[in-house]
Amino acid sequence: MENLVSKARNVMSLFNLRDKTAIVTGGGKGLGEAMSLALAGAGADVAIAGKTQANNERVADEIIKMGRKSMPVEVEVRDESRVVGMIETVVKEWGHLDILINSAGYAEVRPITEFPLDLWEYIMDVNVKGTFLCSREAAKVMLTKGKGKIINISSLQGYAGRAGDPAYAASKSAVNLMTMSMACEWASKGICVNAIAPTWCWTDLTSPYLSITSFYEELQQRIPAGHAGNREDLFGIVVFLASDASDFVNGAIIPVDGGAIASDGFPIVPDSSPAEK
C-alpha cells in the first residue's frame, strides 16, 4: 500500500515526455501539427515529417521557440527508401526514437462508379502502406531498446461506410486492424501500438465543408456533443498514448468524436407526452 501511495503522489510524472524523441508524419499541418505541438508541450523533441518542407519548417520553428528540439524532414510515406531515410536521419541526430505518430493521410469522395483506380490506389498507399512502412521501420529501432509508442491516426470512417467513399473508409478500417496486429506482435517486446479515431475536426482542409450550413447542421445531429472537434481536442489523448501513463494500453482504437460512434446518428426524438392540464 505504501508503494502504491508513493506512486500516486508522482502520477503526473507519468505524462512527462521530457528526453523523449518523436516523429510525426503529416506533422506540418492539420491534426498532425496540433499533435506535434502537444508532444513538444509535454517535453518531447519532435521531428516534423511530410511532403511539403515549408510546412515542416514552419512547425519545427514553433517547437524550437517552445524550448524543444525539432527538425523538418521531407518524406513521401509511400516510398520505402525515403521512410528508411527519415528514421535514420532522426536516430543519427538524436540517438534514439521513442514515439511515432502516423498522421499522414489523404481523403477524397466521389461517386464510386466514377472513382479512378489511380486515386483509389493513392489513398490506400498513403493511408495504409505509409502507416505500415513507417511503423515497421520505427519498430526496428524501438525493439533494440525494448520500449516505444506507435500511434496511428484512424477515423470515424474506419467504423462505417459512406456514399462516395470506396477508399478512405476502407483504408482507415485497415489501419484499425493493422494497429491490432502490430500490438499483438510487439506488446510483449515493450512497444505499445494504438490508434486515435477522430470525427470531423476544424482544419484548413475541412473548413470549406464545415462552413456549409446545411452540412454542419446535419453533422451536429450525428455528434451527441453537438459540434465538430477542434484540433486541440487531440492534445490530451496523444500525450497520454505517447507517455508512460499508457504502458498497459495496447491495440486500442480510441474515438475522439464527441460521442459520434456511440450514437446511432439519428436526431433526438421530440417529446410527445401529453401536456399537463
The residues annotated as belonging to the active site are 168
Q: Residue 8: is it exposed, middle or buried by C-beta count within 10 angstroms (0-12/13-18/19+)?
A: exposed
Residue 36 in contact with residue 27, Cβ under 8 Å? yes
The rounded distance, in Å, linking the Cα atoms of 8 and 154 is 32
Q: Smallest Cα–Cα separation from 224: which of 269, 263, 270?
A: 263
What residue type is 46 in one-letter code? V
